[in-house]
Amino acid sequence: MNLNEIMQAAQGGQGINNLAAQFGLTPEQTQAAVQAAMPAFSQGLQRLGQDPNALGGVLNHIASDTHQGSFADPSQATAIGGSAGGDVLGQIFGSPQVTSQISQRISQASGVSPQVIQDMMPVIASILMGGLSHSMHSQGFGGVLGQLANAITAPGGLGSVLGGGAGQSGQGGGLGGLIGGVLGGLLGGGQGGANPQASQMQEGLNKLTNMFESGVSADPSHEQGISDILNSLSGQFAGRARG
């Protein structure tokens, strides 16, 4: 699955219609907003290697049961999205100011008002986290998520190894390979080596990061606009990682 497929499958396939009803939009307007938002979430998630603390935080969200209700139930998405979904946005985009800039860009691409987009973003974030969790569990990798989060956030763990230097992952989907390259070394056995735990965690991470693809064909100027906003985060990520 990719991010767009998760959104289309959410809440028994009624996620778009339920969002439309919640935010007073037509299904067509909501679909346009969601399609415009997917590249932002995709780029943001793929850049998490620049900030191991944020990466660990997002993995904790995916590993928990908090967001699975959002993926399955519109009433829970409404309740959870405002708080936990907002925290997810902070992990992915770094600050409310950047989330606001992203919302403006999504508004320009979709024609939906910036305020509605900004209100919708935490709910979308929560649905995506729940969908990623659901997909990982259905593939038998549910238990790996917590292990990955611990491996990244533990003192002397993967976050310390990566520091602020993982920004090379960029938009190319290389986050899984980048982290997997040092994961085996931390657990023993090397990348793809004899350590079964390292191999399973690396496979799980690759499965997860493959799902970070947006799954939509966006206008190149829209993609570039999002990239320009997120590039401004590089200094923030480096500072947070060093801290």
pLDDT tens figures, 174-224:
555 555 554 555 555 444 445 667 777 778 888 888 999 999 999 999 999
Domain count, the chain: 1
What distance in Å separates the CA atoms of residue 69 and residue 102, rounded to the nearest whole number? 26
Residue 127 scores a pLDDT above 50: yes
Residue for token digits 């310390």? 160
pLDDT (0 to 100) of residue 115: 96
In our burial notation (b when 16+ CB lie closer than 10 A, e otherwise), range 68-81 reads bbbbbbbebbbebb
Note down the domain range covering 94.
3-242
Residue 19 scores a pLDDT above 90: yes
